[in-house]
Every structure is written in structure tokens, then in C-alpha cells.
Chains A and B, each alone.
Chain A
Amino acid sequence: MLRLSIFIIAVQSVFCTTGFAQQKTTPQQKEAPIPLSKAIELIEKRFNTRFAFEHNLLEGKTTTAAALEGKTLPEILKNVLYPNNLLFLYVSENAYSIVARDSRFFQQGGASPAAPSLAEDVVIKQLAATHTLRGIVIDEKGAAMPFVSIWVKGTRRGSQTGERGDFTMPNLTTKDTLVFTYLGYNTESVAVNMGGTLTVQLYATNKGTLDEVTVVSNGLQQLPKERATGSFATMSSKDIAKTSSPNIVQRMEGQVPGVKINVLSGDRSFVYSSGNQLGINSGTHTVGNNDYGMSIRGTSTLLGESFPLVVVDGAITDLDISAFNPDDIENITFLKDAAAASIWGVRAANGVIVITTKKGKTSQAPAISFSMNAGVAAKPDLGYLRMMNSAQAVGYEAELVKRGFLTATNINGASYSTASYYPNFAAVLALKLQAGTITQAAYNASVDSLSKIDNTGQILQYLLKPATTQQYNLSVSGGNYNSNYYYSASYSRETPNAKRTIGERLTITLNNSWKLFKVATLTTSLKGAFFKYTNDGTGVNSLYPLTGSGVLLPYMQLVDNNGKSVSYDRINPDFTSTLSTKAFSNWQYNYIDELNNRDDIQKDNNYSANVNLNVPIYKGLSGSVQYSNEKTFSAHNVYYNPNTFYYRYTVNTYTPPTATTANGLGITSGGILSLVNTTVNNYALRGQLAYDKTIRQIHQLNVIAGSEIRQTDMAQSTESLYGYNPSTGISVPVSYTSSAYTSIYGYSTSLGGAPGQGEKIRRYLSYFSNAAYTFKGKYSLSASVRYDDYNNFGLDRKYRATPLWSAGGKWSIAQESFMQKVKWVNSLNLRATYGVNGNLSTSTYPYTAIYLNSTDPVTGLPSAGISSLANPELKWEMTYVTNIGLDYSLFNNRLSGGLDVYRKKGKDLLYSFPINPAYSGSIGGGYLTRNAATMKGNGIDLSINGVLINNKSFTWNMGLTFSYNVNTITDNRFDTSTISSTYTSVYPGSISYIAGYSTDKLLVFRNAGLDANGLTLTYDHLGNKVSATTPLVFSDLKNAGHKVAPYFGGFTNNIRYKQFTLYALMTYQFGGVFLRPSINNYITAYYTMNYSVSGDIAKRWQQSGDETKTNVPGLNGTATQVAYSLARYQNADVNVRSSDYIRLREISLNYEFPAMLVHSVFAKGASVGFSVRNLGLLWRANKDGYDPDFTSYPNGGYSLPAAKSYNFSFKLNF
């Protein structure tokens, strides 16, 4: 690296030398014209000053060497600028702005933040004094606006506001009009009536115009957007503030083209319905994935990590994204193509999300901001599940008995094994009727009363409640020349629809920045995120499990007519009644008691620290060192008290049926405590040199180079304590020796829950460099290179040493002279990039992975196995990305946006390919993960922002994002000849990747209705109708389309009228399909007690002739016929639906209190807002009323569509 810095210095000195050479002019040359830009550069050097000016302001203007011969700076400036109709304005010591004589435009960039507290008047010509006006300029939120330019209209007199937004204008007459301008804000003219004080409020001209983030960050360096060649997309804090979810992911929805977010759980944001427990052995992102689908530009990997890399304040974070308080975020940059992302090397293929948190402003009095938000959403609509009713369930169970799928074995209580096949109540009645133990009359009476029950009301009443959210946020920020700070604290609490499920989050952020020794900058960011999850609720999912028994049928009441909770037998009472009550606990399940007894608490404490020291070294060269550390302490305790079903069931099943005095585990008091403790300790240390220099206003160079070491360390321990008494802390010693206990079956058995501990340490070493060069503000080139080493890649270094790189170019067309006349084009940039991004899977290893068995079952000796064979050729996945982009801003920035077209080619993708057991035996089950697969993808990202109306009291902005993304497997190894006939005949959804098909294909059968027995018929590829048990081959299947909609995006409207702002967000997707959920299974054997509750069961074939009315197969056949017939129907084209929709996600109305009113209570700004979220689908393609984001089976769905939620918010700034 030293060598590199020497190189950079050498390059710089070459430029400097040429610069000085130009100074040596002879008398003859004195009158020769020299470019004004060159002259300014010479002045800069001579007086050590800096000038700020609008791009191209100096273009085509000249001066002479003679004009430069002056003693003082003002003298020379007058000589040089005035003849060119240019003025200079004093900004601060050694800093001036150059403006055109007729321009009101004040360029901010380049001005030193170290401005004096009260602006100096820039006096070009004194006027006769009448009186002095003082005042303050504030923004729409009431915050003071420093550096606002103030002009006396029609004169060349100007001034600036100070760091508190204050100004003083002397020598004004009543004829004068003051004009206030600030980049990105409307221009305000105020007639001077008299002296005294004045408050002026400026409004930001909205998104899509000038306030858009003008600097993009790749996490390692900041680049002005107009010089960035790559595909960057940004969200500003303003965009983030438009929605109020505590999880930033939900605020990204529909905002950025190419970024797909599917919100899959409506009643919650950070209390994930799929659990918040970190997993140690997973190779990919484990938390939250099932609650929101997120991808940047689609799928790039088959087996590796698919979640985008998240970088917070320059450091890779492994924390879940819910740990970041959205209100702390200043901006988010999405890195989408190779030029943007390949600086992140092997982690870049899925795209990168760069989050920058808020900092204090250098010149800012302490600003305090407080906000609160509260929302409530109705209970979900259980009708969406389209379940069968009680009468239909009773009929279904009766048919199961009639057809012989449920038999006398199911009510045989002779042994535990038969007792555990105990069906639900209506089936028991039917079996008893069949056995003759009850009369037809008794059966009819019971069935009639069951048929009248509908338990959905009870589910809503006893298990669910309206979801609520609360958020409170307090931040303080400020700063001065030497330091600045941003401190915040936030508290969020959400209670989803399931009663007794609660999530609480406290975040604390302490961001500081100090100037050291006047030159160096020390930046620290300390963050804490503290979660407490109470997972005691009974979600709708757990009532209808997809597998296993315990499905709540619609006639099963939670509470009987007397208000008493109902207990259900899951084990035949004929058997349990024979057991000793001393040794055995009650075997019944009671939904209400379960809910009350559950005690499942997870507490996660996350701490992160970033320390960055940046030292300028020499003229534009600076060095920085950054250390970052993340620690997580997570404790997940589940206490099953002796009344819980889990406790009773566990203790009972470890007790032999002959026991009469005590249970098998010897527990006399206390319950079972299950503990999962997780600790994460990740650190990274990075050294980086940066060179940022503009040479002679022609060459702009921005180079960084650095290296980084990083370690991730996750440890997890699990343990169960039996007979644990929470008040004494004492538990009963148990044996984990194999076959230590006799089970309820009478066989010896081993107890689970032995203490376990695992720790995974991984290390990374990276070198990276990125350079951006811009010539004359028109042509930019960029290049990046990164070399990553990872301890779990190739034993052979040749597999590690491939650098990942990118190159890109950009042409700012609007800067060309021939475009100067085209006034309606404000900016027009053409970009092209190519490069390679990497990806890795953390679950693959280059060396033999040996795992420890507890003991060998034959010998009892300690033993180990091999979980994966050494694969010394393991390397990272490569995705080659080509991107062509166009950015435009037209009609005075009224219309702006971008278009990106990209192509991705994946190579060396990890996939488990079959391997001959001659190499690997049983290790990997006949599969070996190799870098062998290839795929390609392409897509389009489009954004359009329009300012329809923009005046003082009325603004209307529209934004549209549009994305297209598809992919194809190109690897011939994924051929169709080896696909198991079981998949092609029964489970087409399980067929993995196939060459020529996309990763999200939906393969289905061609349904041909039902045969005379009510069994599904299917068309084969020749068009013949074949029976359900006829094996099918791949060509018999039909590709129904993409499961992930290839076209998607969002549409936003932001309308401000005076103090009111109305915001609406719509999202849409097109081109995808989904499989309509139907019957997940029929009970076809006495030992599978998994009841489907699908309403389609009521539409099933029941008798001859039904085949003309329905295509839902019936139960008339052997178990195999019925099961295959159902599978052929479930996965058939008749159930394919289009997933196209337009969703109205959110509408909000915000009211900003007038500044005058707010100031009277010493605040700078205040606003109240009201929003409605999840307003539903404005349009859907499917006619059955499905929300395509929520289409799982009624049994096992992740979540129901969110009910409308109503939120109130209040913000106050001091």
C-alpha cells in the first residue's frame, strides 16, 4: 500500500509541475488570452484561496496574464472577473464564490463550513443607509437555514445567513426587495417595509428536482452523483420518512427500481412471524426472510447467500436490518451493478445496501426532534382462508370412515401406538357408529349439533386482537467547528394480531465527529438495539399445521356454551384412562390454557461501534483507519410449566405405560426450561488511502485503495433443564445416555435436549481499490478491483487469487457545448459498466468437515462422522454484470429519472450436483457442492419523477419505478433425463433447476378433469388422458410461468397544498403466476392424522356423476390412487392464477403547523399526520379474490393479508 501512496504522490507532483510551468510567462505573452479557469487556478495557488462556481461558468472566458499582476486578491479578482461579467462574493476566509453578474444562483459546494457566526456583507457598492433589517430564515420544518443567499433585488448587494439562519442587512430602503435563494428551495421575495426583524420560510422543491441526494456512497467513498458511472439508487431521509414502519425494509417498498420487497406479514414489522432466533449452522441469512422477500435485481445464486449485503456507516453488518432505527438514517444507497458494487468483492453479487446514519451539522445549534407514532389495525379476516364449514368437515370425516381410510384401529385404545392415531370427534362418532357402539340416532344428534358450530368467532375473540404499533423517537444534534454530534433514542412496541405476542425495541445511537489537531477527523458511531420478544401467542398458523395432527376443525370450540375452555383428546382416552394418574399427567390439549401458560421470551442485545480516523496527508490525499465491532447477546428462554401440553406430553412419553408411582424422568415439581444463548462478535479493521483532487478544473480524480481484515464469530449454546423450578432455580438431573429411559411405547429411548455448544469463526482479508476520473465534467471513467481471501475457500491459493473487478464510463451529454442551446435538457448522462461481482456460501468448506456424534450406537464409543468431503477447489461464485444506463433531468428539472438495462451472467455458481459414491460414499447423500453451475439474467430498472405543479402553496410530485427481471439456468447439467419419476408424476414443484428454465418456474400437470371414480385425469404430452397413477415424464408437464413476477414497481404521489401534504404509495406486479391453494392432503391412512381444512374439500367428487360438476378429486380409490389423484389436481394448470395486482399500500396526510404559530411556543417546527396502511388491492387479475402475496394453504400459511391499519403521528422540532 505504501507503494501505491508513493505512486499517487508521484502522479500528483507531475500535475503540479505542469501547473507551475504555466506561471512563467514572458512580457510578450502578457496580453495573450489565457483561459479564465486557468487564471483562477493560478490565483488559488498564489493566495491559497478556494473558489466556488457553477459548472461551466468559466467556460469560454479568458483573461490576460497582465490582469493577474496585482498585489491584493480583490484587485486581481476585479481585473480578472469584472470584464467577464462575473462577480466574486466573499464566503469565508480564503473562500469566494464566483457568480455571473445577472445570476442569482449561489453555489454552495466548496464553501468552507467554517463560516463566521454572522455573515459579512459582501459589499460591492455601498448604498445610502436608511435602516437595518434583521431576521431568520427557516425551512419548512422550522429548522434554521444557514448559508441562504440574500440579495437586494436589482442590485449587486448580497449577504448570507449565519449558521443559526440569522442575517442582518443594513442600509435598506423601503423600496428594496430582499430575495432569498437556496439551492433546492423555492426563491422567496420579501418587500422591505421597515427595519426590525423578519422570519422567512423556504420550502424544499421536492423529490426529483435538486434536493435529491447529490452524493452517492458505495460505503467506502463518497462520489458526486454526476460523476458516478455505476448504477446507484438512493433514498433520502425524506423518502424514508414517508412511511412509518419501524422496520426500514418496509419503507423501501416500491421506492427503488430493481429492488423487490414483498411484505409477507401484514400485522408486524420486526416481530417476525417466522421467529427471531439466529441460527448458527445456516449458510445464509436466517432471520426475517420469510416475513419479507427482498432481492436486488433478482436471483444471482442457487445455493449461496441470496440476501443483499448491508453496509452501515462503512462497515459490513451482520445484524438483522430491523436493528436499525429508520429515523436515524440519513440516506440509503443501493448498489446494483458491478461498477457500483464490485468494490465489495465476494459479497456483492446480490447487490449492496449502503446505509448512512445521521450526523450533526457542523454549524448548528442543538436541535431536538421528537416524534411519536401510534397505529392500530383490525383483526385479520379469517374468511380469506376459505375453509370448509363444520357440516362439511363432519361429512368429510364420515366419508373417510366410509371409504375405510379411518378404521377401527383409530379408536383402538389397547396400546399407545394405536391410541396416538386418535382422530377428531366427528370421525370418532362415525367409527363408533360403524362399530355399533352408538346408535344412528345418537350419531345424528351429535353430528347435527356439531354441524351448527362455527368456531371462527371464538378464534377471533379468544386468540386474536387488533394489532397495534407505537413508536417514540427523540434525537438531539448539533455541532461547531471542532465537533458535531447526533444522538437519538427510540422505542418501538408492536403487538401483532396474536394475543400475547409482543415485540419491543429500544435503539440508541450516538454519532460523534471531532476535528483533531485541526486537520484529522475522528468519527465514532455507537449504536445499541435492544429487543424483547414475547412469543406467547397462538397464531392462526399453529391452529392449522401443515403436517402432523392437532388441526383445529371448524366445529371444535375453544370455549363451550357455558364459557368454560374445552380440552381435546389427542391420545385415545380409552388408553390414557388405563394409566396411573400418579405417574401420568393429563394428555389433553386446551387452546385457552395453552395460551395462558406459555412463557417464551427472547431478549437480544445488539451493540455496534464504528471508529474512523481520517487524516489528510498531502494535497487531496488522505488516509483513514476504521475499526468496527458488532456484538450480539441473545437469550431465548422458553419455560414450559407443568400445565403446558409440551411438558405433560414430554414427561408422559418418557414414562413406561406400566409406571404407577412416578413419571419416568423423576420430575416431581417444576417444568422444562429450554435455553438458547447466542453470542455474536464480529470485527473489521480497515486501512484506506483516498485521493480526491480537481486539477485545473479539468481533471477530477477520486481514488481509494485499502485493505480490510474481518472476522465473524457466532457461538450458540442450547440446553434443556428438566424439573426446573423458576423460584428455586433447581432442576432434576436427567440422563442423556442412549436408551436411558423407557418410553410410553415400552421401548428404551433417549432423552433429547442435551447441552450443546457450537462456535463458528470465519475470517476474511480483502484488498480493494476504486478510481473515478472525470474529464472536463463531461467524461467519467471508473475502475475498481477487489481481492478477497476467505478462510473457507480453496486450500490451493490459485482458487482464491482471482480478483473481482469492474470498469465503467459515463458521458454527461448535457455538458457538451452543442447541448447548451437545448434549454429544456438540464442533464443527460449515458453510463456503461461491466464487471464481476462475487458471492459465497458460508456453509461449504474446502477441507473435510468432521462432526461429532454423541456416542456410537453399536459400541458406545465416542464417534464422529464426515459432513462434507474436502473440496479443495472451492471458490467463490462469479456474476458478470453489464449495465447500460441513462439519467435525465428535463424541463427545468420538472421531469427526471433514469433507465438501466442490465445483463448478468453467473459462473462457478455453487450447486449440489450428484456425485458418484465412489468418491464420496454416503457423505453429502450422493451430492457434492461444487462451483459448477451457470445462469444468466437480464432486466430493466426505470424511474420517472415528475413535478407536475410547483409553486409556493401547491406542489405535486409523481414518482414511478418500474423493474423487469428474469433469469435462465444455462447449465446443461441440469437436464431433464435424471429427474426422478416421482417428481414428474407427483411433485412437479420439487423439480429443481433445469437448463433453459428460470429459477422460479412453475411446473404443473395438464388437468383433464375426473374419471368416473372421481380420480384426477391428466393429459400427457400426446394429449391422452391418463390416470392418476400412470407415471408421467417431464415432457408431460407444463411450464405455467414465473412464480416471481418479472414486472414490478411502485407509484407515488406527493401533493402539498400550503401546510397539508398528501402522500400515496401504490405497488404493482405483473407477469407472474401462483398456484391457487387447495386441499393440502387427504387422510389416506389411519396413521396420518393431518386434516386439511380447505373449503375445496366440500367441492370434492362424492358420487358418480359429480365428475361433470367438479374437478376436485374424491376419496374413491386406494390410498395411493387418492393421494396421487389429489397431487395431480393440486399441482395442475387449473389452479394456476395470474399474480398481477395493483396495491394501494399507504395513504397519508400530514399537516405542518405554520411557522409563526410554532415559533410562538419556542419550537422550530411541528406536524401531525394521519395515515392508512394496507388499503388492499386496487386491482387483481385473479377472479377468486386472492392477494397473490398471501397464497399458501390454509394449513401452514405464513400470514393472512394485513388488515387496514390506521396510524397517527406527531413531530416536534426544537
Chain B
Amino acid sequence: MRNRLFAVISCLATLALGGCSKYVDIKTQGSLVPGQYQNYRYLLNNTSSFENGAYVGDLAADDIQLPDSSTQMLALNNGGDYYAYWLRSYSWQPQIYTPTGLYYQDYNWYNLYNSITYANVVITEVPNVTDATNDLKSELIAEALVHRADAYMQLVNTYAKPYIAATAATDLGVPLVLKETTTQPLVRASVQDVYNQVISDLTTALPNLPVTQIFNTLPSKPSAFGELARVYLYMNRYDSAAKYADSTLYYRSVLNDLSTLTTISSTTYPIRSKDPEVLISKIAYGGITAYTPYAFRLSDTLLSVLGTKDQRYNLFTTAAATISSTYTGRYFYKDRAMGEGRNIGPSVPEMLLIKAEYYARTGDAANAMVWVNKLRIKRFKTADYVALTATDANDALLKVIQEREREFFCRLLRWWDMRRLKSETRFQQTITRKVLGVTYTLDPNNNRYVFRISDYNIKLNPEIQQNP
């Protein structure tokens, strides 16, 4: 009997020991079990994880302007730490975020790397998914790659020098984090490496992307082509940019006709996620700007370029009184009119103007104007529309750049254009701003065309080299 009991005990003991390593190999429920296709599809459906982009460039760009010591400026100044980033960016200060202040975190960096982190989770983990076909898995990865490419493109154009072929290989870019990790050293890759990575991500993604998606928040083939066109433009490779613009336009070329509109709202004008012009929806973080005290007051230079007949003036801007009775001038209003953040992702108009710039830069002024006018005809009331003409290629280029100002003001690209064009003497300018009696200037060689990486993030990872 003892032997029998001993045998029972031994069996139970062996049972407890055997298969032990497998016993604890279960996953505790979060709400979804990692390893299933659905998790990653749902992750990629999470708009806010991927959509938020850079904001701070719009404050440094010359399309906004506050009168010195205006009510709005004083309010921003009195907001203490909370609005400090606004006036500091506006006056091109080296330090935007105080590491011990309440707002130590740089939300541009934070949100862009958030997209990258989410994308990296998908890219790293989807190959281990067991319940989906390779095609489905490849599509998930392709979508993630497009988001990641867009985020790196925004990062490199915020924290690194503009792309110049001669120096790109040595200019400091941003840390390239390409897989899920919490330990990789954050040494900054070169600008060239970042651009290479962006191009590689986009070209890798292209074959596996769907031609259409039901929402602009989800990457499709035209999203990737549009991103590529943008990337090559900012690398000053206009031919490639134009080719990719063509590819984009092959899939998506519809423009919104503003000629008949009197106001815009979410019922009269397509929302971002359904807007046929938007190739991939990206927004500057922080939502709608057109509220006190952080609303974008348009600069005199922009207003003079824009004119008052332009429907983009009538529909996308508003009189100061709409924001506050104590404000003056004209304010950016498109986001508030639509009740949603402003798109900063590649768009159909951007493709048209890339084509136009390509022709202007290759000396074909006539074709450049053809492409500019393809856009302009949708931007004026029929009665007000006048086709633009150019006297020569140089004039054509000037007009294309002006059209870009009109089309993209307060939507990131003006700052990027200021950065890429400052090396061309014909576009060089020195901007001055006055804040509470102090004058600030931004000359073409100013270090402040590149934002410094926040001191907080450098403190966390001292291997990150700071910008001058």
C-alpha cells in the first residue's frame, strides 16, 4: 500500500514538474491577445496613434505674425510655462522647453516617435502572427512603413538641417529606431541615412499597399507615392519628385472645387478622412488652433501674396473678431470651420505644384503655369479667376513657390520651404520679429532653421548630439 501511495505521489510530483516550462507560457489578457492579426489591424486603425505630427514649424514660419505687445502676445506671455513654447518658437529661441518646467516634453518629438513606436510594434510583431495570410500580414507592415516614413520625414525636417546632397552624409539627422526596443543608443543618424530609410520604407511598402482605402487615415498606394514625391522634392531631386507626383496623380487627382462655396463646414466640405485631396491624413498635434490665445494670426507678407479674391482667403481665414474682440488682423480658420485638425500630409494640390516646380526648374515656364492653373481654377470664384502666366522660368518658379504659400499656409510646408529655399539666393530673406520690445531676426544662415532637441530628451539620452 505504501508503495502504491508512493507511486501516486511520484506521479503527481512528476506531473507538477513535467511540462512546467509550458505551464507559465500563457499570456494574461490585456484586452487583446498579442499574436493575432486583429490586434495589429486594430492598432493601425488607431488614428490618433499615427496621425499626430509636428506643430512647431508653423510658429517659426513667416506666414504668421503678431503685432508686438498685442493682447494675444500678452496673453501668451502671461500664460507662463503653459504657452511658453509658442512665443519661444515664434521668436526662434534655442530652448523651447525648460527641462524642469511643467512643459518639459517636446510634443513634436513625442508624437512623431509615437507613430514610429506603433509602426515598429506592427513591423516587429506582425511576422509572428499565425492566423492570417502572408498578403494580409504584408499589407499591415506596408501601412506601418508608410506611417514610419512620414514620421521620419517630419522629424528630419524639424531637428536636422535641410537636405543638401553635398553635406547630407555628415549632417546630423535624428536617431533611427527601427524595431521595438527600450535600450538602443539614440545616436543620431545622418540626414542622408534618414532620407534613405524613408525612401526605403516607402518603396518596400508600395507593392503591398492597397490602391484605395476607405479613409485617408489608412495608407494606400497613392499615400506612398505622394510621400515619395514630397521626399524627393525636399532632396531637391525634382525629376524624381515629378515622376512620383505623376504616379500619385494616376491614382488620385480629384480637387475640391472651392469656386462655388461661400463658407465651409463639415457638411459643405469633405472632412479630412474623406477629403479626395488628402493622400494620407496627418495633422499637426494639438487640434484646432483658432482659439485664444494661440490662434494663427496671418502675416502681412502672406496676406499680400494671398489677396482677398482667393477663395482660400475667404474660406480658410477669418477676421480677428471671430477669435476675440480684442484681436486684430486676419486668422487661419480652416481647422475651426471644419471642427478638426489641419492636414499636413501630402495632398493632390501638392502633387500638382511639385509638377509645376519641376517644369519651372527645368525651364518650362508654360508647363509650369499649366500645372499651377490646374489648381487655381478650383480656388477662385469663376468671376475672379485669372490664369497665371510667367514671363520666364525664373518668374514661373517664383509663382509656383507663391502658390505653395497660398495653398499650404499654416500647414507645415511653408516652414519646410523656407528651409529648403534659403540656400537659393533668389529666395533668401531675413525675417525680423518683435516680441515685447525685443527684436529677433532669422537670417538665411541662422542655426534656428533647425530646432534643438529638447534638453529633457538629451538628459535622458546624453548620446544624442545637440544642434548648435
B250 at the interface (CB under 8 A from A): no
B208 at the interface (CB under 8 A from A): no
B138 at the interface (CB under 8 A from A): no
Assess whether B34 is in contact with A847, with CB atoms less than 8 Å apart: yes
**Most A C-beta atoms less than 10 A away, residue of B16, B42, B51, B177:** B16
For the A-B complex, the count of residue pairs with Cβ-Cβ distances under 8 Å equals 227
Chain B residue nearest to A1033 (CB atoms) is B100
Complex CA gap A245/B43 in Å reads 52
Assess whether A849 is in contact with B30, with CB atoms less than 8 Å apart: yes
Complex CA gap A759/B218 in Å reads 31
Partner of B117, one of A615, A708, A923: A923
Q: Which residues 310-351 of A sit at the B interface, judged by CB distance below 8 A? A: none
B158 to chain A, nearest CB (A): 13
Assess whether B43 is in contact with A866, with CB atoms less than 8 Å apart: yes
A34 at the interface (CB under 8 A from B): no
A921-B31 in contact given A625-B9, A858-B217 (Cβ < 8 Å): no
Interface band, chain B? 35 or more
Assess whether B457 is in contact with A918, with CB atoms less than 8 Å apart: yes
Partner of A864, one of B46, B105, B186: B46
- Chain B residue numbers with a CB within 8 Å of A1 are 13-14, 17
Complex CA gap A709/B25 in Å reads 12
Assess whether B28 is in contact with A853, with CB atoms less than 8 Å apart: no
Assess whether B42 is in contact with A864, with CB atoms less than 8 Å apart: yes
Assess whether A759 is in contact with B46, with CB atoms less than 8 Å apart: no
Q: Which residues 780-794 of A sit at the B interface, judged by CB distance below 8 A? A: 789-792
Complex CA gap A252/B171 in Å reads 68
Assess whether B177 is in contact with A919, with CB atoms less than 8 Å apart: yes
Question: What 1/0 mask marks residues of chain B from 90 to 106 whose CB sits below 8 Å from any chain A CB?
Answer: 00000000011110110
Complex CA gap A72/B125 in Å reads 80
- Chain B residue numbers with a CB within 8 Å of A848 are 34, 121, 125, 180
Q: Which secondary structure characterizes the binding site on chain B?
A: helix
Assess whether B116 is in contact with A921, with CB atoms less than 8 Å apart: yes
Q: Which residues 40-57 of B sit at the A interface, judged by CB distance below 8 A? A: 42-43, 45-49, 51
Partner of B49, one of A763, A765, A862, A865: A865
- Chain B residue numbers with a CB within 8 Å of A914 are 456, 460
- Chain A residue numbers with a CB within 8 Å of B48 are 856-858
Assess whether B16 is in contact with A921, with CB atoms less than 8 Å apart: no
B218 to chain A, nearest CB (A): 8
Assess whether A977 is in contact with B100, with CB atoms less than 8 Å apart: yes
Assess whether B6 is in contact with A864, with CB atoms less than 8 Å apart: no
Complex CA gap A857/B46 in Å reads 9
Assess whether A615 is in contact with B5, with CB atoms less than 8 Å apart: yes
Complex CA gap A845/B32 in Å reads 13
Partner of A918, one of B13, B121, B175: B175
- Chain A residue numbers with a CB within 8 Å of B100 are 977-981
The stretch of A641-649, A662-670, A867-875, A878-886 that contacts the partner chain? A867-875
Q: Which residues 176-213 of B sit at the A interface, judged by CB distance below 8 A? A: 177, 180-184, 186
- Chain A residue numbers with a CB within 8 Å of B180 are 848, 869-870
Assess whether A792 is in contact with B28, with CB atoms less than 8 Å apart: yes
The stretch of B107-115, B301-309, B421-429, B433-441 that contacts the partner chain? B107-115
Complex CA gap A869/B49 in Å reads 14
Complex CA gap A863/B181 in Å reads 23
Assess whether A847 is in contact with B181, with CB atoms less than 8 Å apart: no
Complex CA gap A923/B31 in Å reads 16
Partner of A765, one of B23, B29, B217, B460: B23
Complex CA gap A474/B409 in Å reads 83
- Chain B residue numbers with a CB within 8 Å of A918 are 109, 113, 116, 175, 177, 186, 457, 461
Partner of A926, one of B105, B125, B217: B105
A1061 to chain B, nearest CB (A): 47
Complex CA gap A687/B14 in Å reads 9
Assess whether B13 is in contact with A2, with CB atoms less than 8 Å apart: yes
* Number of residues on chain A facing chain B (CB within 8 A): 75
Assess whether B26 is in contact with A791, with CB atoms less than 8 Å apart: yes
Question: What 1/0 mask marks residues of chain A from 643 to 679 whose CB sits below 8 Å from any chain B CB?
Answer: 0000000000000000000000000000000000000
Chain B residue nearest to A789 (CB atoms) is B24
Assess whether B29 is in contact with A862, with CB atoms less than 8 Å apart: no
A116 at the interface (CB under 8 A from B): no
Complex CA gap A1/B16 in Å reads 10
A929 to chain B, nearest CB (A): 10
B85 at the interface (CB under 8 A from A): no
A845-B20 in contact given A861-B45, A920-B117 (Cβ < 8 Å): no
- Chain B residue numbers with a CB within 8 Å of A1114 are none
Assess whether B24 is in contact with A921, with CB atoms less than 8 Å apart: no
Assess whether B117 is in contact with A685, with CB atoms less than 8 Å apart: no
A517 at the interface (CB under 8 A from B): yes
Partner of B16, one of A686, A760, A861, A863: A686
- Chain B residue numbers with a CB within 8 Å of A977 are 99-100
B179 to chain A, nearest CB (A): 11
B285 to chain A, nearest CB (A): 10
Assess whether A758 is in contact with B31, with CB atoms less than 8 Å apart: yes
- Chain A residue numbers with a CB within 8 Å of B26 are 761, 763, 791
A919-B117 in contact given A709-B23, A864-B45 (Cβ < 8 Å): yes
A751 at the interface (CB under 8 A from B): no
Assess whether B47 is in contact with A863, with CB atoms less than 8 Å apart: yes
A155 at the interface (CB under 8 A from B): no
Partner of B28, one of A689, A762, A870, A915: A762
Assess whether A863 is in contact with B24, with CB atoms less than 8 Å apart: no
Assess whether A615 is in contact with B42, with CB atoms less than 8 Å apart: no
- Chain B residue numbers with a CB within 8 Å of A517 are 1, 5
B61 to chain A, nearest CB (A): 24
Assess whether A861 is in contact with B215, with CB atoms less than 8 Å apart: yes
Assess whether B16 is in contact with A615, with CB atoms less than 8 Å apart: no
Complex CA gap A949/B125 in Å reads 74
Complex CA gap A416/B219 in Å reads 42
A980-B27 in contact given A687-B13, A923-B114 (Cβ < 8 Å): no
Assess whether A852 is in contact with B31, with CB atoms less than 8 Å apart: yes
- Chain A residue numbers with a CB within 8 Å of B218 are 859
Complex CA gap A859/B213 in Å reads 12
Assess whether B31 is in contact with A623, with CB atoms less than 8 Å apart: no
B167 at the interface (CB under 8 A from A): no
Chain B residue nearest to A984 (CB atoms) is B100
Chain B residue nearest to A4 (CB atoms) is B13
Partner of A871, one of B101, B114, B182, B273: B182
- Chain B residue numbers with a CB within 8 Å of A56 are none
- Chain B residue numbers with a CB within 8 Å of A758 are 29, 31
Complex CA gap A709/B13 in Å reads 11
Chain B residue nearest to A686 (CB atoms) is B16
**Most B C-beta atoms less than 10 A away, residue of A847, A857, A918, A919:** A918
A856-B13 in contact given A916-B457, A919-B177, A928-B182 (Cβ < 8 Å): no
Assess whether A916 is in contact with B31, with CB atoms less than 8 Å apart: no
Complex CA gap A370/B244 in Å reads 90
Chain A residue nearest to B281 (CB atoms) is A858
Complex CA gap A916/B5 in Å reads 59
Complex CA gap A845/B30 in Å reads 9
A241 at the interface (CB under 8 A from B): no
A919-B13 in contact given A761-B28, A791-B27 (Cβ < 8 Å): no
Given known contacts A919-B177, A978-B99, what 14 new A-B pairs fall within 8 Å (CB)? A2-B10, A615-B8, A848-B34, A848-B125, A850-B31, A858-B273, A862-B42, A863-B46, A864-B46, A918-B461, A919-B113, A978-B459, A981-B81, A981-B100
7 shortest interchain CB distances as A-B pairs: A921-B114, A864-B42, A687-B13, A921-B117, A623-B9, A849-B30, A863-B45
Q: Which residues of A contact B (CB under 8 A)?
A: 1-2, 517, 519-520, 613, 615-617, 623-625, 685-687, 689, 706-709, 758-765, 767, 789-792, 845, 847-853, 856-859, 861-867, 869-871, 873, 914-923, 926, 928, 930, 977-982
Between-chain CB contacts (< 8 Å), 26 pairs: A2-B10, A2-B13, A517-B1, A615-B5, A617-B9, A623-B13, A624-B9, A686-B16, A763-B24, A791-B26, A848-B180, A856-B46, A857-B47, A859-B45, A859-B214, A862-B45, A864-B43, A866-B117, A869-B180, A914-B456, A917-B113, A917-B114, A919-B183, A921-B49, A921-B111, A980-B104
